[in-house]
C-alpha cells in the first residue's frame, strides 16, 4: 500500500544520474531500489536513521544488490548536528551537501518534525529539491477507511495529523503535489531557490 507514495515521490523528485540524495529516516532502505534507478551508479544515496538495527538491514540490502554508492549515517534527524553529519558524509566519499532530500513516512514519527525538516535543509544545497511523503486521514469515498488508517498510524507510532508536507509548500517553489489511496498518502516535492 505504501510503495505507491514512495514511487510517486521519487518520480516527482526528478533526480538525475550522478545526484546525491539524502534519505531521512531511511529505515531498512525501502527507497534505495527506486532511488538507484534514478541516480545510477555515479550517484550517491545518503541514508540517515537513528536505529542501528534498521541501518544494519539497510546495509545488507545495499550489499546484496551490489550498491556501493550507499552511505549510511546513524543519527536522529531531530537531534543531529548538520555540520558533523556533513563531515561524516564527506569522510565516506560523499559531498557535504546533497542535491535532494527525501523523507517517506518518517517525519510524522517525530514529535518535533519541524526540527528534522530544518536539518534536511541544512544538509542540502541551496537549490536542492526536497520531498515529503506522509499520511493523513483518507478523504471522499475512502473516508470510511479513516478508522483503519488512524489505527495503522497509531500502531506504527505516526501522528496522522502531523501533515509534514506543509513544510515543502511553505519553503519551496514549484511545488508538485500528488496523493494516493484516497488521499491517505500525501506527496509534495519542491525546489529551494537560492
Task: List the pLDDT tens digit at each of the 194 positions of the chain.
Answer: 678 899 999 999 999 999 999 999 999 999 999 999 999 999 999 999 999 999 999 999 999 999 999 999 999 999 999 999 999 999 999 999 999 999 999 999 998 999 999 999 999 999 999 999 998 888 888 888 888 888 787 888 889 999 999 999 999 999 999 998 888 899 999 999 86
Total domains in the chain come to 1
Tell me, rounded to whole angstroms, the distance of Cα 97 from its chain centroid: 15
State the sign of the Cα–Cα–Cα–Cα dihedral 10, 11, 13, 18. Answer: positive
Q: What is the pTM of this model?
A: 0.93
Q: What CA–CA distance (Å, rounded) separates 99 from 171?
A: 16
The CATH number that applies at residue 48 is 3.40.50.150
Kindly write down the DSSP assignment for every residue of 15-60, as one continuous string. --TT-EEEEET-TTTTTHHHHHHHH-TTSEEEEEES-HHHHHHHHH
Q: What CA–CA distance (Å, rounded) separates 161 from 142?
A: 17
Domain extent for 165: 3-191
Q: Do 133 and 160 meet the contact criterion of CB atoms below 8 Å apart? A: no
Amino acid at each position: 500500500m505504501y510503495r505507491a507514495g514512495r514511487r510517486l515521490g521519487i518520480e516527482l523528485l526528478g533526480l538525475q544520474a550522478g545526484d546525491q540524495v539524502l534519505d531521512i529516516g531511511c529505515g531498512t532502505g525501502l527507497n534505495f531500489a527506486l532511488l538507484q534507478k534514478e541516480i545510477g551508479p555515479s550517484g550517491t544515496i545518503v541514508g540517515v536513521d537513528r536505529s542501528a538495527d534498521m541501518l544494519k538491514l539497510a546495509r545488507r540490502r545495499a550489499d546484496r544488490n551490489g550498491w556501493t554508492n550507499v552511505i549510511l549515517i546513524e543519527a536522529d534527524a531531530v537531534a543531529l548536528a548538520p555540520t558533523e553529519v556533513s563531515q561524516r558524509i564527506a569522510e565516506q566519499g560523499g559531498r557535504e551537501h546533497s542535491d535532494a532530500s527525501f523523507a517517506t513516512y518518517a517525519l510524522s514519527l517525530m514529535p518535533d518534525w519541524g526540527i528534522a525538516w530544518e536539518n534536511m535543509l541544512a544538509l542540502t544545497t541551496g537549490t536542492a529539491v526536497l520531498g515529503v511523503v506522509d499520511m493523513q486521514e483518507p478523504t471522499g469515498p475512502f473516508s470510511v477507511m479513516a478508522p483503519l488508517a488512524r489505527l495503522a498510524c497509531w500502531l506504527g507510532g505516526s501522528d496522522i495529523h502531523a501533515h509534514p508536507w506543509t513544510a515543502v509548500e511553505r519553503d519551496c517553489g514549484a511545488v508538485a503535489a500528488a496523493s494516493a489511496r484516497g488521499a491517505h498518502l500525501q506527496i509534495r516535492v519542491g525546489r529551494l531557490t537560492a
